[in-house]
Structure 1
Amino acid sequence: MSTTPIMIRTSRVQDYYGIHRSTLYRWAEAEAAAAKKEGREPRLQIYKRGAAAFIKTANLEDYITNQRCSSNVQSR
C-alpha cells in the first residue's frame, strides 16, 4: 500500500514528479507574483523549516494539472 505524503522536501520533487527543483522554485515565484497581482493566496507555496524546504503535494499536483489543462486550451 503506497501513501502519498502530505508534504515533501523540494529536493525530492524530482524523484516523485520528475520536476527539477529549480523549475519548482520558478513556478512558485511566478505563482506568488500572479497571486499578489490578483489579491489572492498563492496556490503553490514553499515552506521553510530551518534549512529544509517543503511543498504540499496536493497543491503541487493541482498546480501541475492546471498547468497542463491551461496549456491544452491555449494550444487549440
Structure 2
Amino acid sequence: MAEILAVCAQVLGRHTAAEENFFEIGGDSMTAIDLFLRLEARLGVDLDVTVFFEARDFRELAARLAASGTGHPVDPPASGTPG
C-alpha cells in the first residue's frame, strides 16, 4: 500500500490516502497511464491495466494487485519481521 500511495503522490503532486479514488482526486487518463507505468517499474512486474481502472480506491487496488499473483508484496515486511 505504501508504495502505491508514494507513487501516486509523485504523479499527482499531493499526499494521497488509501480510501481515495485516483480519478476523484484529480487523476485523468494520461496521469493514470503514468501512474500505471511507474507502478510497474517500482514493483518490477507486468500489471494488468484493468485492475487499475476497476479498483474503487487505492486500498482495493493494493488488494487486487496482491491477489493477482504479481509475486511482489504490496507491503514488504518490516525489518526484522519474519516472512
Q: Output the TM-score relative to the length of structure 1.
A: 0.29
Richer in strand (by share): 1
Higher relative contact order (CA 8 A, sep 6+): 2
Task: Give TM-score scaled by structure 2 length.
Answer: 0.27
From the CA coordinates, give the structure whose radius of gyration is larger: 1
More helix by share: 1
